[in-house]
Amino acid sequence: MIDRRTFLAGVFLGSLAVPRGARAQADRKAARVGFISNAVGALPDSWWDAFVAGLREQGWVEHQNLVIERRYAELRREASLAAAEELVRLKVDVIVVSNTLSALAAKQTTSTVPIVMTVPADPVANGLVKSLARPGGNVTGLSFVGTELAGKQVELLKEAVPGLARITVLANPNNASHQPRTKEIADVARALKLKSDVLEARTQAEIRQAFATMAKRRPGAVIVLGDPLFVVEASNMVRFAADHRLPAMYGLKEVVVAGGLMAYGASFTDLFRRAAIYVDKILKGARPADLPVEQASKFELVINAKTAKALGLTIPPSLLARADEIIQ
C-alpha cells in the first residue's frame, strides 16, 4: 500500500515529466491578450494593476486561462507600430492600448485583431472609431472627457487661488488632443476675465525650460494637460512647481498624492479596470464594432492641503467640501 508522502512525490515528479508539447498545447488554449504601454513608473503600473484586477474579476487569471503579452514602446509612432506588429505576429486575441498614440499605431497595423482603448481623449476626432455609439471596425473601449474637463479646471483654479489673473497651460504639441483643450481653456479663461497663454514641451528638457519660463513670467497658476510624457515626468513637474511656488492643476489624482496641488479629471484607474470588461466580452465572442465606446463616468477632485499650505494658499471651505479627497 502506498503512503501519502510517496503518492504526493509521485504526483510532483509526474508533473515534471509532462511533455513540452502538452504544455504548449495548454498554453495555446489560454486566451492571449496584448498590452501596449508608452510609459513606465508608479502611475502606469497602478493602472496596469487595475487592468489585471479587472480581468480577474471577470474570471481571467494569468498563468491559468490567460497569457498577457505586455510590451513597452517609447513615445514615438515607430516604436508603437513595432510593438503592435509584434503582438499581431504572436496571434494575440485582443490588443489593449494605453493611449491615443498606441491606439492609432495598432489600428494602422491590423484591421482584424480587436483593439480595446483605455484613455484616448477623443477617439472620433482622431479617427479611431466612426462614432461612440457605433464604433465600426475593430476598435472600441473607453474614452475620457478631456476637452470639457479642461474648462472646469480653469474654474476650480480661479476659486482656489485668490486674485488669480493669469494662467499658463503646459501642452505637448505632439498630442492631438491638446489643441482643442487649450482652446477650451482660453475660451473659459476669457469668460472669467483671466489671461492665458500656452507653453509647449515635447521632451524632458523642454519641460524643464517651460517651468523656467513660467518662473520669469510669474503666472498665477498652471494647468498641466494630460499626456504620456507628462505622466512619466510627473514627479519632476511637481518638484518644479514647488521650487517656483506655482499653484498647479493636473488631470490625475495620483500626481496630487505625489505632491501636486490639485487635480480634476477622470479616474484612469477606473478606466483601466473597465477596459477588462471589454476584453472579457471580446474573448467570449463579441465584435468590437458592436460594443459602444463608453466615456468616463468617475471623476475626481483631489486637493493636497499640505502643498496648499506650503504655497501660502488657503483653499476656500466651499471648495474643500466638494473635493472627493483631501491629502493631508
Q: What is the pTM of this model?
A: 0.82
pLDDT digits (tens, 9 = 90+) for 46-103: 899 999 999 999 999 999 999 999 999 988 889 999 999 999 999 999 999 988 889 9
pLDDT at 114 over 60: yes
The lowest-confidence range among 40-49, 246-255, 281-290, 305-314 is: 40-49
Q: Which residues face 39 on adjacent strands?
A: none
Residue where the block lists cell 510590451: 71
In the three-class reduction of DSSP (H, G, I as helix; E, B as strand; rest coil), residue 124 is classed as coil
Confidence of residue 231 (pLDDT cuts 50, 70, 90): confident
Question: pLDDT tens across 118-166, in order?
Answer: 987 778 888 899 999 999 999 999 987 667 788 999 999 999 999 999 9
SS3 of 62, please?
Answer: strand
β-pair type (299-304, 262-266): antiparallel
CA-nearest of 274, 242, 244 to 255 is 242
**E strand or H helix at 166:** strand 166-171
Q: What is the distance between the alpha carbons of residues 256 and 305, in angstroms, rounded to a whole number?
A: 10
Q: Are the CB atoms for 230 and 255 separated by under 8 Å?
A: no
Q: What are the phi and psi torsion angles at 312 (to 5°)?
A: 75, 25
DSSP code, position 292: P
- Helices 42-57, 268-283: inter-axial angle, 10-degree rounding: 40
Residue type at position 227: D
Give the per-residue pLDDT at 237. Answer: 94
Tell me what pLDDT residue 53 has. 97
Residue 1 has pLDDT above 90, yes or no: no
Please write the tens of the pLDDT for every residue from 253-270: 889 999 999 999 989 999
Structural domains in the chain, CATH included, are 4-145+268-297 (3.40.50.2300), 146-267+300-327 (3.40.50.2300)
Tens of pLDDT along 179-196? 888 999 999 999 999 999
